[in-house]
Structure 1
Amino acid sequence: MALRHVLFTRFNVASPGKEAEIRLRPGWLDVRFELFERYCLPSVAAQSRRDFEWIIFFDEKTPSPYLDRIEALRAVFPFRPHYTALFWLGDMTPDLAGDGRADWILTTRLDSDDLLAVDFMQRLREETEVPSPQVVNFDNGVILAPTAPVPALYARRDTSNPFSSLLERADGPIRTIYGVTHREIGQFGRINAIQGAPAWMQVVHGGNVSNEIRGRRISVRTVDRLFPHMALGAQAAQEPPLALAVDNIVQRPVRTARRLGRRVLARLGVR
């Protein structure tokens, strides 16, 4: 049984409109490259299992100075840059995933500012060792708020997250994990919901409009071995003694109330 595994990441391919102009600006690109180089790229390079391909989508109008930067980053991990004007990756990824030799196609999604735990790919391949059409979703992860002097870490459970994978036969119509949004993965069919240790990390930062702090705050040393390049364990000694308790007892309920309030106002049409 031949299986081809492709990891897909969208970097600066924008939706039509004003967003397209923003994602080509040097200031915006500088921040995105910094996030990618600090978080995403090292986490993929650190994978304990590396028999996968990584295709990263860049806008075909990406300014030339950044093209050299992209090539230099390929020395860290040999990803394949794909330059395109298409926003809907579901229209393009099937052709990139199929190679005519594999019996099964496994595709995984990863945002350019997020991280994979060091054993993510190993755990994923163990789950797909006996192939059957399925979505694999690692429900447990963490959210990182890079605060000073020590980053704050929150345990998060998400049953339909942007780290999901799709295993499908290569002899039929290939859809890839980008065939639907990550909130709609149930449309593919069976979801293999994996529990256990955190498998991913999302970073909350100023340029991220969709992520927010959620979950129960935990010590940074909890996931040190899963994200070794972050050196979280070395920062644990600086964690304020009462920070976790105060956050979970006081601040977490406040965050939850605010989130629920926004939902109610949104349903009422109030902005």
Structure 2
Amino acid sequence: MKHYLITRFNLKNNTWNTKHSSSDPLTTKWLNARIKIFEKICFPSVKNQSHQNFVWLVCFDQNTPEEYHAQINQWEEELPCFKALFINGFDNLNKDINQFIKDDTSFKDQYIITTRLDNDDSIHQDFIKTIQAAFKPEPCTIDIQNGYQLILKSNGVYDLRLLNLAYNPFISVVSPINDLKNVLSEEHHFWKTYYKTIFIRKEPLWLQFVHGSNVLNRTFKFAKMTTDLNSKDFGLFEINLPNHYFTVLSYNVFTWPYRLFSKLKLIILKK
């Protein structure tokens, strides 16, 4: 069994509804800003994994300006599992990922795991270890439901929320190599229709970062607020959360009815 953590770095999906030229992932402005976030939030968390038996496949547009190739080479040198894959546009993403995996596997690898990670998000040091421990050699998804949402507010202060989300952007897909389906071949919500799901409900093992440059992420307005984050577990040594105990307590008390209503709604819908 081989495991591929897959990150789309600067391949633009033409279905995204964006109005600003600054969202073009081939511009210097976008790349400089995203590299800064990647090196602060994402890269350290992957480097910090307690289990290193995986390939981190990071997908770049082949038209990425030459001036950034030295930086990409540096990441490969610093982290042996980091593999850069240059792709001719978003439309070739699925095909090229599948080809890379097929070239990288042997007849012994009947099933493989692919796991999604956005380039501005972070994973707990036991994230990969937990997924591989849940692996079964059959088509399925592995869904770690509990995580955090780290929100960078306009005043530069961080808010941290607890999330419980099924089929979230950190989902994993177990697929037979002879009928290969990688996790980026579909949006993460799609995988609820794929065979069965192994749900993992334990401590938060992922962190979604919401900042001014997100295209699709939204804040969960009434999610429970917390300051209980061990940053080192995520390789985040530059994140300092304000310790406003009474602010957090009052917010959670005020928003509790909304969370209760949401849970009751889900229970009713399941009946």
Note whether the superposition's TM-score is higher than 0.5. yes
Q: List aligned pairs for 1:24-43, cutoff 5 A.
A: 24-43=26-45
- On the 8 A contact 2:44/2:234 being kept in 1, the answer is no
Say which SS state the counterpart of residue 173 (structure 2) adopts. strand
Q: Which moved more, 1:245-254 or 1:181-190?
A: 245-254
Q: How far apart in 2 are the matches of 1:206 and 1:194?
A: 30
Q: List aligned pairs for 1:73-222, cutoff 5 A.
A: 73-78=75-80, 79-88=82-91, 89-98=93-102, 99-101=105-107, 102-128=109-135, 130-147=136-153, 151-170=158-177, 172-214=178-220, 215-221=223-229
What amino acid is aligned across from residue 216 of structure 1 in structure 2?
K
Q: How far apart in 2 are the matches of 1:158 and 1:69?
A: 34
TM-score in terms of structure 2 length: 0.83
1:58 to 53, 57, 60: 60
Say which SS state the counterpart of residue 217 (structure 1) adopts. coil
Query: 1:159 Cα shift?
Result: 0.2
Query: 1:132 Cα shift?
Result: 2.3
Query: 1:100 Cα shift?
Result: 3.0
Q: How far apart in 2 are the matches of 1:167 and 1:86?
A: 25
Query: 1:91 Cα shift?
Result: 3.0
* Deviations, residues 115-165 of structure 1 (Å, cap 9, x unaligned): 11110011111101x422210010100000135675221000110111111
- On the 8 A contact 1:142/1:155 being kept in 2, the answer is yes
Q: How far apart in 1 are the matches of 2:36 and 2:130?
A: 28
Q: What runs of 5+ residues in structure 1 fail to find an aligned partner?
A: 258-271
Are 1:241 and 2:249 matched, yes or no?
A: no
Q: Which moved more, 1:134-143 or 1:148-157?
A: 148-157
Q: How far apart in 2 are the matches of 1:251 and 1:186?
A: 29
- On the 8 A contact 2:87/2:96 being kept in 1, the answer is no
- On the 8 A contact 2:139/2:174 being kept in 1, the answer is yes
Aligned residue pairs total 249
Q: How far apart in 1 are the matches of 2:71 and 2:254?
A: 44
Query: 1:96 Cα shift?
Result: 1.7
Q: How far apart in 1 are the matches of 2:12 and 2:257?
A: 35
What amino acid is aligned across from residue 101 of structure 2 in structure 1?
A
What amino acid is aligned across from residue 30 of structure 2 in structure 1?
W
Say which SS state the counterpart of residue 98 (structure 2) adopts. helix
Say which SS state the counterpart of residue 29 (structure 2) adopts. helix
Q: How far apart in 2 are the matches of 1:220 and 1:73?
A: 30
- On the 8 A contact 2:111/2:138 being kept in 1, the answer is no
TM-score in terms of structure 1 length: 0.83
Q: How far apart in 2 are the matches of 1:94 and 1:142?
A: 30
Q: How far apart in 2 are the matches of 1:158 and 1:30?
A: 31
Q: How far apart in 1 are the matches of 2:156 and 2:215?
A: 24
Q: Which moved more, 1:95-104 or 1:110-119?
A: 95-104
Partner of 1:69: 71
Q: Which moved more, 1:243-252 or 1:25-34?
A: 243-252
Q: What runs of 5+ residues in structure 2 fail to find an aligned partner?
A: 262-271
Say which SS state the counterpart of residue 123 (structure 1) adopts. helix
- On the 8 A contact 2:62/2:89 being kept in 1, the answer is no
Q: How far apart in 1 are the matches of 2:258 and 2:68?
A: 41
Instruction: Give % identity.
Output: 27
Q: How far apart in 2 are the matches of 1:202 and 1:164?
A: 13
> Residues 211, 249 of structure 1: CA spacing in aligned structure 2 closer, same or farther, 3 A cutoff?
farther
Partner of 1:267: none
Q: Which moved more, 1:147-156 or 1:55-64?
A: 147-156
What amino acid is aligned across from residue 163 of structure 2 in structure 1?
R
> Residues 213, 16 of structure 1: CA spacing in aligned structure 2 closer, same or farther, 3 A cutoff?
closer
Query: 1:33 Cα shift?
Result: 0.4
